[in-house]
Amino acid sequence: MVGSIEVMSRNSYLNGTVQNHNGLEEKLDELRRVLGKADGDLLRIVGVGAGAWGSVFAALLQDSYGQFRDKVQIRIWRRPGRAVDRATAEHLFEVINSREDVLRRLIRRCAYLKYVEARLGDRTLYADEILKDGFCLNMIDTPLCPMKVVTNLQEAVWDADVVVNGLPSTETHEVFEEISKYWKERITVPIIISLAKGIEAALEPVPHIITPTQMINRATRVPIENILYLGGPNIASEIYNKEYANARICGAEKWRVPLAKFLRQPHFIVWDNSDLVTHEVMGGLKNVYAIGAGMVAALTNESATSKSVYFAHCTSEMIFITHLLAEEPEKLAGPLLADTYVTLLKGRNAWYGQMIAKGELSLDMGDSISGKGMIQGVSAVGAFYELLSHSSLNILHPEENKPVAPVELCPILKTLYKILITREQQPQAILQALRDETLNDPRDRIEIAQTHAFYRPSLLGQP
């Protein structure tokens, strides 16, 4: 009997029909008021991109607010036509049959038979089709609630009030450039929340970082105060399974404060912060070092000692880099280390590093991996290396007393670049970087950063 009660409560919660706990309707009404929505005019929220975090974010909103159908519409866009391979279909069938609540839901919706046919190889499933039933292709083991899926980008975004960017940073500019065509006739300006963790490098007119919120701003001409970044130390599947987590929404106070309140849940605490670009860049930086951590773990048979040596060196490099990027880098230490820690423990970038080191994946397979999505750390390695090797950013080497590019003080970043981008070294080189007898004590690198005026505002596009 207890078991059936648990199943019933989980069903009611995960299908977006939970009763009005925690003042949900009041929070929804408050956001509608802030956005100037009249009675009878739906608040339209759409997720663009259906990777793991983008799908979970949309599902969390659907679970909380989907019951208020006369006040809000929550939808998610993903490209059509992505076929689910036979092995994934077989695994998906196992997941469905292991979860009584999911099995009952599919039978009730007359959707179970297609998964049987796909298991037998008699039909092909598509990613947008299974997402409607609550299955994200990058996260098959964590069933979500059913979602309203749109495959036509214009239909999805043209009248959206809030757009959630769940795309990889490498795809953000291209897709939002297309979106801008559909917004030319708009009277109201949408709110955009970007979940993307990644950066691109530009070397003209001076070396600087381009973040996803800046890409969106340039592609759409939506004012930067209407574009926010949300990120934190979290794993998408664990958040959906109600593991306690926190995140920060960063941007203009006008929007971040009401949105933080709207997004906050008992298990998902959302704080707000004004520092948009720096938090965004830190989200990309930790992905760089997560790949190396995965390599070290695989090459040393999960040696705790070797991993701790790596952690000491990679954190010292990250601290050094934050001193180049931020005027008050100390404020970033906690969020950056927390985000790095969870990524090293269970993130896809660390997993990718492990698979590359074990030889189970090849660099020739690219950085978009079936069942995992985009490995954003690869492009971030290239971007940070390009920026920090530019001669215009030269700093005085404290021991050799000569100007050097900042990357010369970041041996792990240099090694990852040679492994992943130029491919002139094998993954084993990451261990050599740690064992190099000439490598400075990590503490020395932190001390150098703290005692020298390294801050370069131009790196973040600031005067």
241-287 pLDDT, tens digit per residue, is 999 999 999 999 999 999 999 999 999 999 999 888 888 888 888 99
Could you report the per-residue pLDDT of 423-446, keeping only the tens digit for each?
999 999 999 988 766 666 776 777
Cis omega (within 30 of 0) on the bond before 457? no
Give the per-residue pLDDT at 89. Answer: 96
State how far the Cα of 385 lies from the Cα of 302, in Å rounded to an integer.
27
For the chain, domains (ranges, CATH) are 36-80+149-274 (3.40.50.720), 278-460 (1.10.1040.10)
Of 286, 372, 414, 418, which is the active-site residue?
Answer: 286
Q: Which of 346, 344, 338 is nearest to 293 (CA)?
A: 344
Say if CB 146 and CB 15 are below 8 A apart. yes
Our answer to whether residue 261 is catalytic in this structure is no
Give the count of beta carbons closer than 10 Å to the beta carbon of residue 197: 28
8 A C-beta contact, residue 133 and residue 55: no
Question: Closest by alpha carbon to 217, among 229, 232, 208, 205?
Answer: 229
Binning pLDDT at 50, 70 and 90, where does residue 402 land?
confident
- What does the mean pLDDT of the chain come to? 89
Beta bridge partners of 368: 374
The pLDDT of residue 440 = 65
**Which residue is listed with tokens 């000439």?**
438
3-class secondary structure, 156: helix
Residues in the chain: 463
- Which alpha helices (DSSP H) does 82-152 contain, by range? 86-98, 100-108, 112-119, 127-132
**What does the DSSP 8-state code read for residue 126?**
B
> What secondary structure does DSSP assign to 269-315, as a single string?
EEEEES-HHHHHHHHHHHHHHHHHHHHHHHHTTS-HHHHHHHHHHHH
State in Å, rounded, how far the first CA of the chain is from the last one: 66
Q: Other CB atoms closer than 10 Å to residue 334's CB: what's the count?
A: 10
Average pLDDT of 107-132?
Answer: 96
